[in-house]
Amino acid sequence: MRLPFVISVPHASFAIPEDIKPSIALTARETIESCDFGAREIFTQLPVSVTLWARWSRLVVDLNRDPAERGSYGVVPEFDYHGRRIYKENYFPTEEEVDRRLKKYYWPYHHRLKEAMQSPQIKALFDCHSLAKIGPPAAPDTLRWRKDIVLGNGGDLFGEIDPARGMTTCPAETLHMTKKIFCRSGFSVSINRPYSGGFITTHYGTLFAGEGKMTIQIKINHTLYLDEVTLQLRMDKLTPLVKRLQHVFREMGKEWCS
């Protein structure tokens, strides 16, 4: 049975369109490092109604940013999350080029996502990512070890409303229930630390709050399935991990759909 959930994986790809490659200053490995390793392989195997994933790198356009956001880490970023300049000198995209990328790569994804959320049977959106075991230079937890799973609802460390951020995208009780389910399956879990939810989580959480639909951001730690030196997925770890997560989601389905 397919659960009434939508999965979004906005940083699933490291592909760069051929017409953009000549402007990129990063090496091939550095370009690959901007991908959420394993996120597509893991989260697209869950028993949900709709799954969407990015076809292009977040370096081209970041689907998890406000389309109006500009600057170093805007919708078309100038730096990657290791603080490295993405583009060669004098090659940073013009506003015209930013608009072109939004039309070609950004809006089609969000139109599909909004359409999926408008389906009457859908109850929740999970925006899914992976994260390095230790916070990189541009992260809010630089050089700190992370939990297996990070759950975000736009709130504080207890899942309650953070006045600086506005309304949460799901009730604190629901977030804690979700945490308990993950913990019962052997995962260590943090709430809203180091990330409490990006644009997709907060935007769609607000947009569909009046319909009783919720959004939660999920980040999964590379240590569970990735060799961070070779950047190769450990299939001996990935397969049992996916089975554990399938169980987690079925348990969430029982709680949310009963």
- Establish how many alpha carbons lie within 13 A of residue 206's alpha carbon, considering only the half-sphere containing its beta carbon: 10
For residue 160, the model assigns a pLDDT of 95
Residues 258, 251: Cα–Cα separation, whole Å: 11
Which alpha helices (H) appear in the chain, and where do they start and end? Answer: 28-32, 39-43, 95-101, 107-117, 172-184, 199-207, 235-257
Assigned token pair, 233: 């997925």
Residues 243, 245: Cα–Cα separation, whole Å: 5
pLDDT band at 258 (very low <50, low <70, confident <90, very high): low
Cite the beta strand spans of 110-238 per DSSP E.
124-131, 149-152, 189-191, 214-221, 226-227, 232-233
Q: Please compute the mean of the pLDDT values over residues 48-59 and round it to a whole number.
A: 97
For the chain, helix, strand, coil in percent to 5 are 35, 20, 45
For the stretch 170-185, pLDDT in tens is 999 999 999 999 999 9
For the stretch 200-236, pLDDT in tens is 999 999 999 889 999 999 999 999 999 988 889 999 9
Q: Is the pLDDT of residue 84 over 70?
A: yes
Q: Is the pLDDT of residue 50 over 80?
A: yes
Among candidates 64, 50, 48, which has minimal Cα distance to 11? Answer: 64
Q: Is the pLDDT of residue 162 over 90?
A: no
Q: Please compute the mean of the pLDDT values over residues 112-128 and round it to a whole number.
A: 97
Q: What percent of the chain has pLDDT over 70?
A: 100
Any idea which fold 3-257 has?
A: Aminopeptidase (3.40.630)
CB 11 within 8 Å of CB 54: yes
